[in-house]
């Protein structure tokens, strides 16, 4: 009877996308101790770790916070401090360190991206994560180079603290952490974007589409240099690049 009831409950939880075995221990077996909240992991094997485990981070660790559209990176310096590069317009407008050290708002961040201004700043683990889970040294298996010693990584990050030039593709937070940890600045996110852009350009249908849009613009706005030149050059460039 107990086995039948357990079977029915498992089916019920399965329909709700909840695995019963993850909620209840096996019959006759005592609950095991919970696993540590943070461990050294790679992207495929381990989920994001909660911020409460910051005491397990070691100086020089690479912290990774998945966001909706991108991933943010930082270097752990010890004592609950993280160095990370973030776009910020405020250092270009004021020298008041108290204002600059306040949490970077979305407005400050967006204006920093547009103005290509950023800062390498030191925040707490909680402020850095901003409520998201943290991956620990997840990039170690994605980068071909071996990581440097933790102390050297942290010293590199500390030396770069301050205002820097920002580029969404060529100098972002991922370039900062890879330079500190592996000795060479690179961005896997940028590489993926460039690969996607290359595939987009090589698709000949885009040349046809831009040619059609060019004809429609000339039909609507009239034939002139300002309409005819882009209508010809853009499709031609895409066609030659495909």
* Residue 180 annotated to the active site: no
Cβ atoms within 10 Å, residue 98: 7
Catalytic, out of 31, 41, 173, 194: 173
Helix, strand and coil in the chain, % to nearest 5: 50, 15, 35
The 3-state DSSP class for residue 223 equals coil
DSSP annotation of 43 reads T
Residues marked as catalytic: 173
């Amino acid at each position: 009877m107990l086995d039948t009831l357990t079977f029915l409950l498992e089916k019920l939880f399965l329909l709700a996308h909840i695995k019963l075995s993850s909620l209840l221990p096996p019959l006759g077996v005592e609950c095991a101790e919970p696993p540590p909240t943070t461990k050294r992991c790679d992207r495929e094997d381990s989920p994001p770790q909660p911020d409460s485990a910051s005491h397990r981070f070691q100086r020089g660790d690479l912290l990774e916070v998945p966001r909706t559209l991108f991933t943010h990176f930082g270097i752990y310096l010890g004592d609950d401090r993280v160095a990370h590069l973030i776009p910020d317009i405020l250092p270009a407008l004021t020298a008041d360190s108290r204002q600059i050290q306040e949490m970077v708002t979305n407005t400050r961040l967006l204006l920093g991206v547009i103005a290509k201004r950023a800062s390498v700043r030191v925040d707490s683990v909680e402020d850095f994560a901003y409520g998201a889970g943290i991956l620990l040294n997840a990039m170690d298996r994605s980068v071909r180079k071996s990581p440097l010693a933790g102390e050297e990584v942290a010293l590199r990050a500390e030396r770069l603290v301050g205002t820097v030039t920002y580029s969404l593709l060529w100098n972002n937070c991922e370039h900062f952490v890879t330079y500190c940890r592996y000795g060479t600045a690179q961005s896997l996110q940028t590489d993926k974007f460039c690969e996607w852009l290359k595939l987009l350009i090589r698709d000949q249908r885009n040349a046809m589409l831009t040619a059609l849009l060019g004809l429609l613009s000339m039909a609507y706005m009239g034939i002139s240099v300002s309409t005819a030149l882009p209508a010809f050059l853009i499709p031609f460039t895409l066609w030659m690049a495909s």
